[in-house]
């Protein structure tokens, strides 16, 4: 039965609108009570070229740390689909993935958790209410929060349920007003003829459509600087668990919050290490890698069956290799250099044959050595090479653009509108020769001189990722060059994929970019000028640890951007 809007209005804290930062607005086809509203966000402009910019939405942070907390913007963050499913599974034991019925998330800066892109449309609001009602209908409130009704009475047990489950749903204790509204919703439902369990399900539905469930609401604690507020222990607990698990706090983290054991950076970092050591962190790290590196491209890549007849057969093996490589590398050596230069990968027999290496004899993935081959690290894996190519041939443009944007954090603007692609020379045979027209055309050369020479270093692999020595009867030339990198030391020529990988692995610009990518994923937005100190400390920690990625994640939880929020007074609100 569709719940009465009056009951939901009674249960939800209407005062929340105006108490919390207003998120992007839903399109109004139906209103879920208490759902915040606002306006559709606009994407910040991407700086043009030249010079080639590093990509923050505002400006490149350059200021030094001053000792005064500077957390940058603190947008209101909605649970994305993964976080929603994980949260209802933790709360209700329901693994049905209700977000499968939700509209697809919008990605920004590669990630699907960017607060400014996470618009609540009318359709999504409708789906939230549908999911809440379906989840509540299946749930057994008496099992979720056991209470002896015969001994304590229904009203007392209802209050216990609301207090106990409400803490877990809102990720903090309920306020007196919230508790009163939810108790009143239970009582009103009972007065209309519903039994005890039905009335609890009404309360459960109200909790699951509350903005305090759907959003990670942070009102903050005391102001510690003109632009910074501390976070409450429960808000820090949620930041930790959603960063590393994409899920709500566990009992130990709730206990740490309740006992004041998240009051120092060391205590927060200690909990981060505990969460990172838990198997639940693996799925979040894998999700980061999939989005940062665009691994989903392979699922939508098509190839000409005449040029690449084996692609459809090997696609799944290619993706499995990269997934296994990232999992084992991060949780093993766990360094940026290992991701880019490792001579060890994971293949099944079909992919081993394709690579020309001695490997497994069956369908299971096994570790193999790439010694004696031209492959090294992520950039030379077939999943990357084939998805960064066209249906019929290689694409140094796409491969170079990937390095620029994902490994150097530089924005490549789109081609000018109504631009005619210059014709290649009639004598051009190889891809390098055909792309000469781009680099000699004034309208093209600015971008193509930055992308193409990087991609040329990977021309020793065809459009499907198979190693090759010739193209159209001519020897493949694999010399390349990096110019205009954020770190001048990264610039220079290289010969082939191994030297390219080594150059990138040694680059402080790549270390900085990897830190930025994790920062964006962790804060749910692009970096701002106010994040300068956080980013400097994060990058220095990565360099000092010789590129250790697990150290990077723990160090992130020590930054101003993680430990504080922008002062609501500075944002024009009230404390």
Angle between helices 549-556 and 233-244 (to 10 degrees): 160
Length of the chain: 575
Task: Using alpha carbons, select from 503, 524, 523 the residue that is nearest to residue 538.
Answer: 523
Q: Is the pLDDT of residue 19 over 50?
A: no
Question: Do 432 and 539 meet the contact criterion of CB atoms below 8 Å apart?
Answer: no
Query: 149-191: per-residue pLDDT in tens?
Result: 999 999 999 999 999 999 999 999 999 999 999 999 999 999 9
What is the DSSP secondary-structure string of 99-122? GGGSPPPPPBTTBTT-GGG----H
Task: State the alpha helices, DSSP H only, in 57-101.
Answer: 81-92
> Roughly how many angstroms between the first and final C-alpha of the chain, as a whole number?
40
Question: Do 478 and 496 meet the contact criterion of CB atoms below 8 Å apart?
Answer: yes
CA distance 261 to 508: 36
Confidence label for 3 from pLDDT (cuts 50, 70 and 90): low
- What's the burial of 20, exposed, middle or buried (CB within 10 Å: 0-12/13-18/19+)? middle
Going from the C-alpha of 93 to that of each of 88, 97, 138, the distances in angstroms are 7, 11, 11
CA distance 482 to 454: 6
Q: Within 10 Å of residue 315's Cβ, how many Cβ atoms? A: 19
Q: Is the pLDDT of residue 72 over 90?
A: yes
3-state secondary structure (DSSP) of residue 224: strand
CA distance 303 to 312: 8
CA distance 10 to 180: 10
Predicted pLDDT of residue 205: 98
Query: 253-291: per-residue pLDDT in tens?
Result: 999 999 999 999 999 999 999 999 999 999 999 999 999
Predicted pLDDT of residue 440: 77
Task: Using alpha carbons, select from 109, 128, 131 the residue that is nearest to residue 41.
Answer: 109
- Calculate what percentage of the chain has a pLDDT beyond 90: 81
122 versus 54: the higher-pLDDT residue is 122
Q: Is the pLDDT of residue 442 over 90?
A: no
Confidence label for 437 from pLDDT (cuts 50, 70 and 90): confident
Query: 198-248: per-residue pLDDT in tens?
Result: 999 999 999 999 999 999 999 999 999 999 999 999 999 999 999 999 999
Q: Within 10 Å of residue 1's Cβ, how many Cβ atoms? A: 8
Task: Using alpha carbons, select from 547, 562, 557 the residue that is nearest to residue 512.
Answer: 547
CA distance 539 to 535: 6
Q: Is the pLDDT of residue 424 over 80?
A: no
DSSP state of 404: I
Query: 102-119: per-residue pLDDT in tens?
Result: 999 999 999 999 999 999
3-state secondary structure (DSSP) of residue 347: strand
pTM for the full model? 0.90
Lowest mean pLDDT among 224-228, 336-340, 424-428, 429-433: 424-428
Query: 454-479: per-residue pLDDT in tens?
Result: 999 999 999 999 999 999 999 999 99
Predicted pLDDT of residue 176: 98
Q: Any idea which residue has 């109200």 for tokens?
A: 206
- Calculate what percentage of the chain has a pLDDT beyond 70: 86
**Radius of gyration for the chain, computed over Cα atoms and rounded to the nearest angstrom:** 26
Query: 353-383: per-residue pLDDT in tens?
Result: 999 999 899 999 999 999 999 999 999 999 9
Predicted pLDDT of residue 152: 98
Going from the C-alpha of 443 to that of each of 24, 46, 438, 454, 484, the distances in angstroms are 38, 18, 8, 19, 18
Confidence label for 415 from pLDDT (cuts 50, 70 and 90): confident
Ordered by start, the domain boundaries in the chain are 5-36+50-216, 289-412+424-505, 508-562
Predicted pLDDT of residue 570: 60
DSSP helix, strand, coil percent of the chain (3-state; round to 5): 50, 10, 40
Q: Is the pLDDT of residue 32 over 50?
A: no
Show the tokens assigned to 401.
Answer: 């653009």
């Amino acid at each position: 039965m569709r719940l009465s809007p009056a009951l939901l209005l009674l249960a939800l804290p209407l005062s929340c609108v105006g108490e919390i930062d207003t998120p992007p607005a839903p399109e109004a086809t139906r209103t879920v009570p208490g759902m915040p509203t606002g306006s559709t966000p606009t994407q910040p402009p991407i700086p043009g070229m030249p010079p080639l910019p590093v990509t923050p939405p505002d400006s490149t942070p350059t200021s030094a740390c001053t000792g005064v907390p500077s957390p940058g913007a603190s947008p209101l963050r909605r649970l994305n689909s993964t976080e929603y499913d994980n949260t209802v599974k933790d709360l209700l034991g329901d693994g049905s993935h209700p977000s499968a019925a939700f509209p697809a998330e919008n990605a920004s800066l590669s990630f699907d958790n960017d607060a400014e892109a996470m618009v609540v449309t009318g359709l999504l609001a409708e789906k939230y209410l549908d999911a809440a009602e379906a989840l509540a209908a299946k749930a057994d409130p008496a099992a979720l929060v056991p209470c002896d009704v015969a001994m304590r009475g229904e009203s007392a047990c209802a209050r216990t349920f609301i207090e106990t489950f409400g803490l877990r749903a809102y990720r903090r204790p309920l306020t007196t007003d919230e508790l009163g509204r939810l108790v009143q919703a239970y009582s009103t439902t009972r007065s209309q003829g519903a039994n005890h369990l039905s009335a609890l399900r009404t309360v459960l539905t109200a909790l699951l459509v509350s903005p305090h469930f759907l959003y990670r609401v942070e009102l903050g604690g005391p102001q510690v600087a003109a632009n910074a507020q501390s976070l409450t222990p429960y808000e820090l607990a949620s930041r930790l668990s959603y960063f590393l698990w994409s899920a709500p706090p566990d009992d130990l983290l709730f206990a740490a919050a309740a006992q004041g054991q998240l009051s120092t950076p060391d205590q927060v970092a200690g909990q981060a290490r505990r969460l990172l050591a838990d198997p639940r962190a693996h799925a979040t790290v894998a999700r980061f890698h999939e989005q940062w590196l665009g691994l989903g491209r392979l699922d939508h890549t098509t190839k000409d069956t005449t040029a690449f007849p084996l692609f459809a057969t090997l696609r799944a093996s290619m993706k499995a290799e990269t997934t296994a490589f990232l999992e084992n590398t991060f949780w093993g050596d766990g360094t940026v250099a290992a991701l880019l230069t490792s001579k060890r990968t994971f293949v099944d027999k079909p992919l081993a044959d394709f690579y020309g290496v001695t490997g497994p004899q069956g369908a299971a993935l096994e570790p193999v050595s790439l010694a004696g081959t031209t492959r090294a690290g992520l950039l030379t894996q077939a999943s990357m090479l084939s998805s960064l190519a066209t249906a019929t041939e290689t694409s140094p443009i796409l491969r170079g653009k990937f390095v620029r944007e994902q490994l150097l954090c530089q924005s490549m603007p789109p081609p000018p509108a109504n631009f005619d692609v210059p014709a290649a020379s009639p004598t051009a045979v190889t891809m390098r020769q055909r792309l000469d027209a781009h680099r000699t055309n004034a309208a093209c050369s600015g971008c193509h001189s930055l992308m193409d020479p990087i991609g040329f270093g990977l021309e020793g692999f065809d459009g499907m990722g198979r190693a090759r020595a010739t193209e159209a009867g001519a020897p493949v030339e694999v010399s390349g060059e990096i110019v205009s990198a954020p770190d001048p030391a990264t610039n220079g020529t290289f010969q082939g994929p191994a030297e390219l990988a080594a150059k990138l692995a040694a680059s402080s610009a790549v270390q900085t970019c990897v830190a930025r990518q994790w920062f964006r994923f962790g804060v749910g937005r692009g970096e701002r000028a106010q994040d300068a100190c956080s980013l400097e400390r994060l990058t220095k920690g990565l360099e000092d640890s010789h590129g250790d990625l697990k150290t990077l994640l723990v160090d992130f939880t020590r930054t101003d951007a993680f430990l504080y929020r922008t002062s609501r007074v500075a944002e024009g609100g009230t404390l």
